[in-house]
Amino acid sequence: MGGSLLYILLPKAMSSLSDITKSKISSAKHGIFPRELEDEAIYIMREVVAQFEKPALLFSGGKDSITLVRLAQKAFYPGKIPFPLLHVDTGHNFPETIEFRDWLAKETGAELIVRYVQDSINQGKVKEETGKYASRNALQTVTLLDAIEEFKFDACIGGARRDEEKARAKERIFSVRDDFGQWDAKRQRPELFDMLNGRISIGENVRVFPISNWTELDVWNYIKEEEMAIPSIYYSHKRQVIERDGMLWADSEYLNKEADEIPFEETVRFRTVGDMTCTAAVQSEAVELDDIIGEILSAEISERGARIDDKRSEAAMEKRKQQGYF
């Protein structure tokens, strides 16, 4: 795939679809993706715009947030996406992700706001981690909370899914956060039927998760049936990696390598896309969506099993959530 991009398909852009891509798609309308999930997510998106004054979509460049952008397009069609995409750039992103982000914003006509972790470091608000496991993953929370305050965002739409991780299994669709972005599992509002209560007090804001009920497989089936473009690093490619703790880490200038960690070339893809310092690659020959779906169906390792940030401790995700992460 190299660095090339496929096109997002709006109905009017149908003619720009290459023949190769077309042949990959079959039975889009009667596929195995449960359409009820799309209807539910669109309903949630529309509630966000109706109930909040200044929503934003948290865009990471990963497949889940790309799916959100697609759902937002659909929810407000023929109108435009009525909120900006907010990207917290750690500076350690894969270049392919950044390239894709800029292309997608242009393609959909959505407003793109980027805020940088490097700025938070320069302002002395956070300190760069040191050592071989140093990453900027934890640092981005501060940059995100600052951006929420700067733009007075009252709702941030995120692509978290309940199947990803145990702490996320209990997250609400409208998740109220206090001034510090904190999440309190015991103080969550009950969500009954499909009624969403987004009423908040000054200082509070809400994280919204429209694809809460999707699994990783649902996302991939949707990407396939919707003929969506995704960053090329999701597909198999050759890359310089090192092996550490039984995982393959992408070699980059941001990775603190030890003397005996010698990079070598491997055919890999990424199953989840975070920073270059906290996302492990998997060996893969998957060059098409069907190959990726096949891999997931026979999965040996879970999606977040390739997230180095989650491995730090068993309760890692819940602790980061309490502190305002996602």
Partner 1 sequence: MDILRIATAGSVDDGKSTLIGRLLYETNSITRDKIEALESASKRKGLDFLDLSLLTDGLIAEREQGITIDVANIYFSTPKRKYIIADTPGHFEYTRNMVTGASNTKVSMILVDARNGVLEQTFRHFFISSMLRIPKVIVCVNKMDLVGYSQERFNEIVTDFKRLADKVSFEGQEISFIPISSLYGQNITTQSEEITWYEGKPLLEELENIDIESMNVKLPARFPVQFVVRPKTEEFHDYRGYAGKISSGTFKTGDEITVLPTGQTSKIATIEKFGQKLQSAGAKESVVITLETDVDVSRGNMLVKTTSQLQPLKEIKARICWMDSQALTSGKNYILQHGINDSKSKIVSLNSKIDVVNQETSTEVSELKLNEIGEVTLKTAKPIFADKYEYNPSNGAFILVDEFSHSTVGVGFVL
Residues making contact with partner 1 (CB under 8 A): 11, 32-34, 36-40, 42-43, 46-47, 49-50, 73-80, 162-163, 166-167, 169-170, 185-186, 188-195, 197, 199-201, 212-213, 215, 217-218, 299-302, 305, 314-315, 318-319
Nearer to partner 1, 96 or 154 (CB): 154
Q: How far apart are CA 183 and CA 156, in angstroms?
A: 14
The CB-of-107 to partner 1 minimum distance in angstroms stands at 16
- Closest separation in Å from C-beta 45 to partner 1: 9
How far apart, in whole angstroms, are the C-alpha atoms of residue 135 and residue 158?
A: 21
> Min. distance of Cβ 16 from partner 1 in angstroms?
16
In which residue are the tokens 């969403």 written? 196
Q: Which residues contact 1 (CB under 8 A, 6 or more apart)?
A: 232, 235, 236, 237, 287
Q: From the CB of 239, what's the least distance to partner 1, in Å?
A: 22
Q: Which is nearer to partner 1, 2 or 193 (CB)?
A: 193
Q: Where are the alpha helices (DSSP H) in 52-139?
A: 63-76, 95-108, 117-122
DSSP letters along 155-208, please?
A: EEE----TTS-TGGGG--SEEEE-TT----GGGPPP--TT-------TT-EEEE
CB-nearer residue toward partner 1: 59 or 214? 214
Closer to partner 1 by CB, 43 or 264: give it: 43
CB of residue 197 to partner 1, shortest distance in Å? 5
Place of tokens 């209807």: 39
Minimum Å gap between C-beta 315 and partner 1 is 5
Residues 6 or more apart from 133 whose CB is under 8 A from it?
256, 308
Q: What is the dihedral of CA 300, 304, 308, 313, to 10 degrees?
A: -100
- For 240, the enclosing helix (H) or strand (E) is strand 237-244
Cα 272 to its chain centre, rounded Å, is 8
Nearest distance, CB of residue 6 and partner 1, angstroms: 19
- Shortest distance in whole angstroms from residue 25 CB to partner 1: 16
Q: Which is nearer to partner 1, 20 or 50 (CB)?
A: 50
Positive or negative, the CA dihedral 301, 303, 306, 307 is negative
Interhelix angle for 289-297 vs 216-225, to 10°? 160
The nearer residue to partner 1, 132 or 189, going by C-beta atoms, is: 189
Rounded CA gap, 193 and 199, in Å?
17
Instruction: Pick between residue 183 and residue 234 the one whose CB is nearest to partner 1.
Output: 183
57's enclosing H/E stretch is strand 55-58
Measured from the CB atom, is 263 or 305 closer to partner 1? Answer: 305
